[in-house]
């Protein structure tokens, strides 16, 4: 990627997001997270120069390496991958802006315990396996509200900010749409917790996700190509 390509990629994504959000409402604001897991620190820097500030990684060690390499830039870092128990302390030390992938009550309680020990807090989203796919992480949609309540009640060092889902891994757009709608419905039912983010949509389905109410998209391949 060179400088022009970075500007071109980002402009294309922003135009599409703009059109998709305006189809929902002029008041519907969508935040773009650039998922940099297949890219280098120098490509991230080019996108930063083009105007992108928020980036995300799915491995703690990659988040550490790239955030340290780009230390001098005022970037916002997100964590979107499966968090192994033995990496929890490393993630805490990296102070991510938002952790999107809290995928069980057990992980939440373990994370909370380690946050407490370090006297820190972390903003997180509850990941929901809305398509009920075995290959995917996340809580069962039928249990999501109960677990969200439980985490809110028992994990004071976790600041729950909403929900995250990965769209169904199929070609049928209706099935993908349905998986986004399941998550959006749960997001709506959590109103009393004032959830802020409904993180849904990747390179192949972000416009559909926005139409279904997503206000945070995680795009990698279309931004870093
Ligand atoms: C890789 C990844 C993305 C971005 O995927 P693209 O299809 O490259 O846009 C988004 N969310 C999560 C959780 C990911 O692991």
CA–centroid distance, 142 to ligand 1, in Å, is: 24
**Tens-digit pLDDT profile for residues 31-85:** 999 999 999 999 999 999 999 999 999 999 999 999 999 999 999 999 999 999 9
pLDDT value, residue 160? 98
CA angle 209, 194, 186 (to 5 degrees): 45
The atom number, within ligand 1, closest to the CA of 218 reads: 10
Per-residue pLDDT averaged across 143-152, rounded?
98
pTM for the model:
0.97
Nearest to 117 by CA among 94, 89, 98, 97: 89
Residue nearest to atom 13 of ligand 1 (CA): 80
13 lines ligand 1 (CB under 6 A): no
| Mean per-residue pLDDT of the chain | 97
Q: What is the pLDDT of residue 149?
A: 98
Nearest in space to 212 (alpha carbons), one of 192, 198, 223, 195: 198
């Amino acid at each position: 990627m060179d400088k022009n390509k970075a500007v071109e990629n980002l402009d294309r994504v922003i135009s599409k997001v703009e059109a998709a959000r305006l189809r929902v409402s002029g008041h519907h604001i969508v935040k773009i997270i650039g998922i940099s897991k297949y890219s280098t620190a120098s490509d991230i820097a080019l996108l930063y120069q083009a105007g992108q500030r928020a980036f995300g990684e799915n491995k703690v060690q990659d988040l550490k390496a790239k955030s340290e390499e780009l230390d001098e830039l005022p970037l916002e870092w997100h964590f979107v991958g499966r968090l192994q128990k033995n990496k929890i302390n490393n993630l805490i030390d990296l102070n991510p802006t938002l952790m999107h992938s809290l995928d069980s009550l057990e992980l939440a309680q373990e994370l909370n315990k380690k946050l407490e020990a370090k006297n820190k807090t972390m903003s997180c989203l509850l990941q929901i396996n809305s398509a009920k796919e075995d290959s995917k992480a996340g809580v069962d949609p039928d249990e999501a509200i109960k677990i969200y309540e439980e985490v809110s009640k028992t994990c004071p060092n976790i600041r729950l900010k909403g929900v995250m889902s990965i769209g169904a891994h199929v070609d049928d757009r209706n099935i993908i749409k349905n998986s986004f709608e399941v998550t959006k419905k749960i997001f709506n039912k959590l109103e009393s917790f004032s959830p802020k983010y409904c993180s849904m949509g990747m390179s192949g389905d972000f416009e559909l996700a926005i139409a279904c109410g997503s206000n945070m998209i995680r795009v990698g391949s279309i931004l870093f190509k």
